[in-house]
Amino acid sequence: MARPALRPAPRPAPRRGRLAATLVLALATALLTGCGGEPLPDGVARVERVVDGDTIELSLSTGRERVRLLGIDTPETVHPTKPTECFGPEASARLAELAPAGSELRIERDVELRDRYGRLLAYLWAPDGTFINESLVAGGYARTLPIDPNRAHRRTLADAESAARSSGAGLWSACD
């Protein structure tokens, strides 16, 4: 009677391979959680930094993103070919007040996901319920910038601009 062939026991994975897998898992977890803390739920973002009055860097559940606030336009402060415009520094400072680094915001998207520069397009809300895009317009830090097909808050932003313009708020009285 023939004896069954003995198979060698499986060899354990080299420690180096397990260490690499552990490091990859740790890195992926850090990226998804914004480098610390619990993972962010969908629709919530953590502020990393303000770029200018209408652009911000956020950590989302999918990673870090540069986000362009939808429906508004603020005077330039960091454009590579344009000088700093009237009321630009004030608009950037106001966005930093409304969305300080480390704070968590509610994020809402519209029809288009990204602009031509690859930035995520979004409306933002502060924890106290302040609609940040509208607040910038209402305070005279931004003008409306309607770009079809993104229409979700067009009327709200237009009404805020009309009131800011009528009262001479911010850039409506400070700039020509």
Question: Residue 49 and residue 129: Cα distance in Å, rounded?
Answer: 20
Identify the residue whose tokens are 């001479």. Answer: 168
Options 46, 48, 65, 68, the catalytic residue: 68
Query: Which three-class secondary structure state does DSSP give residue 173?
Result: helix
119 among known catalytic residues: yes
Confirm whether 106 is a catalytic residue. no
- Concerning whether 76 is annotated as a catalytic residue, the answer is yes
Report how far residue 127's alpha carbon sits from residue 166's, in angstroms, rounded to the nearest whole number.
Answer: 29
What is the DSSP track for 50-67?
EEETTEEEEEETTEEEEE
Active-site residue identified among 46, 90, 94, 119: 119
Report the C-alpha dihedral over residues 128, 134, 139, 143, rounded to 10 degrees.
160
Catalytic entry in 48, 65, 76, 134: 76
Residues with active-site annotation: 68, 76, 119
